[in-house]
Amino acid sequence: MTNTLYQMNEGTLAIPGNWRDESMHVFVLPDDSGINLVVSRTPVPAGMDNTAY
């Protein structure tokens, strides 16, 4: 099996400044195993480290 790089920057939209990006990327195996990988975005306050999050 070979890996394919996936870039998560699909385009540009003009949206109101108070909207948040909570987009999700979902990847699934091509069989019926139900195995998947979900990458989601959520805002993190500036300066917050992994432990505090």
Task: Give, in order, the Cα–Cα distances in Å from 4 to each of 10, 28, 36.
Answer: 16, 14, 16
For residues 44 and 29, give the distance between their C-alpha atoms in angstroms, rounded to a whole number.
30
pLDDT value of residue 26: 94
pLDDT value of residue 41: 82
Residues 27/36, Cβ–Cβ less than 8 Å: yes
Average predicted confidence (pLDDT) for the chain: 87
Average pLDDT for 27-44 = 91
Average pLDDT for 13-25 = 88
State what percent of residues in the chain have pLDDT above 90. Answer: 32
Q: Say whether pTM exceeds 0.85.
A: no
